[in-house]
A and B are shown apart, each in its own frame.
Chain A
């Protein structure tokens, strides 16, 4: 974990680390790091597995509320029979999934069919290692943390391809091809969208990036990257690409229910299916976490007055807010088509991200401008962001638009 001067922090802030240290303090020094790492892994896994369970429920509830209905609310607690607004629902689903028969289709590649969900989950867990969850909570301090994150994250699509290929099902195969196309298309804008952050921060270390966002303009306005023109654009590009990377609506093409039954999941049952589901949510969490880290100030409080709330609290709040947006979007949008998906990536997001790189460069260059020049700086950067957006947006939606109709 990070090398913060732990004692300088308030108790609440230190609490998770202190607990861990208390647990391992009896071990000899040479063993302690291993135990610490294992404990961190377990802690992360437990936290995110619980979050996954709650997120599935939250998603069903939010979808329900958007659709004017309550969502799951009847499953009583086991043995007690008390209804708790459906809190027990994920547990019931989990028990059922665990005990469900596991079917491997005849003619499927048994090894790959088994490996795919495992690999997917493994890769998505790997990405959790470099996200700073709090001031003192960074599992692995890596110099090239951002690079590591995207390298591990990209491998998940490979697992989807494995699943699609191994299932020996035509729908799964189509899904596999879609997943690959999607991977290739969206890895680029995803990476390009964070280059400006790296450029401005001058570091690939996530903790460093978060630290740098910890200042306040006039003591009120947080200096998060999203509140700059390039950061805003970068965040939007990142978010769209993250939606695509985590196969969420409107980019859930591999799983496209109305077209490909369940896509790469068509032949998965029982616990393997649950693993896929889990990995999807883990991926979503990881990407949201990275988005929070890079653009939304990580664990920093929005105003200094609220800094007494522990940093991991802020991180969690921002993470949940982003996840809510994921679900909100899922509740609203139709799905894109595969060619439109790739076109959106190559003809819109990638050029925008490239231009955004220049905007960021300009931002860095003009960092000394003050007074009226500061205004000019915003104006120029804003134009650099908005102009290409309008031009490219118009080109992208050429020929599309509302129509007027005649009457006989």
Chain B
């Protein structure tokens, strides 16, 4: 498949061929748009609540906020039918392997929203011995929604950001999303319980501690 916008014509390409390429490109672009349109308007979350934020997630699906308007009220209880993992609450170390397992069980294309302080960084509980300091140590997160808990509107806002992100995706080329690149796996190693921490405590391929940049 070619790139969506036709590459600058090399001299040996004739006009007819270029037309052909462009048509191809238009077709591809339309396909891409349709594909992205379909995915972005039918994001089914996994029915998976962890803690306080789960209540606001439920509230977002309730009448006042009605996540159904975005086509996302189909909270599927089985990860096999879900597109979106909303990590809604504190991920404890005891729970982390299950969350990664759930993520692995979801079919591609799949997305992850870290909802609330706990899911992003451990939040107020980050100093706890059993609290994972951010789910992005084990699975890739698409959108972070800060708040403790974020308002239901904030979740909707995050969902809209995710939709925008999906709409901007290319179905070919180097910046294609993970699920369209054959070399990228949607399966992530599940940590194991160790004597005093998870083993490993993070997925080194996915998360590197950033450098501390701090003026004293």
Contact = CB atoms under 8 A, between A and B. Distances in A.
Nearest to B34: A78
B71 A92 contact: yes
Taking each of A69, A102, A273, which has the highest tally of chain B beta carbons within 10 Å of its own beta carbon?
A69
Interface stretch (B2-10, B61-69, B127-135, B203-211): B61-69
Interface in A256-285: 257, 261-262, 265-270, 273
Interface stretch (B14-22, B50-58, B72-80, B191-199): B72-80
Interface residues of B, number: 32
B42 A93 contact: yes
Contact of A95 (B37, B70, B107): B37
B68 A262 contact: no
Contact of B80 (A75, A76, A266): A266
Contacts of A101: 107-109, 179, 186
A67 interface: yes
B41 A92 contact: yes
Contacts of A393: none
Given A64-B68, A74-B69, A95-B34, A89 B107 contact: no
B38 interface: yes
A89 B77 contact: no
Given A103-B80, A261-B78, A269-B81, A70 B66 contact: yes
B38 A79 contact: no
Contacts of B41: 74-76, 88-89, 92
B39 interface: yes
Nearest to B47: A257
B125 interface: no
A103 B81 CA distance: 10
A267 B83 CA distance: 14
A117 to B, nearest CB: 13
Contacts of A74: 41, 69-71
A96 B83 contact: yes
Interface string B157-186: 000000000000000000000010000001
A261 B38 CA distance: 26
Contacts of A266: 78, 80
Contacts of B107: 100-103, 269-270
B183 to A, nearest CB: 16
Contacts of A267: 78, 80
Contacts of A273: 80-81
B188 interface: no
B65 to A, nearest CB: 9
Interface in A79-126: 79, 86, 88-89, 91-97, 99-103
A73 B71 CA distance: 8
Nearest to A100: B107
Interface of A: 60, 64, 67-76, 78-79, 86, 88-89, 91-97, 99-103, 257, 261-262, 265-270, 273
Interface of B: 30, 33-35, 37-42, 62-64, 66, 68-71, 73-74, 76-78, 80-81, 83, 105, 107-109, 179, 186
Given A60-B73, A270-B107, 10 more contacts: A69-B69, A78-B37, A78-B38, A92-B39, A92-B71, A93-B42, A95-B39, A100-B83, A257-B77, A265-B78
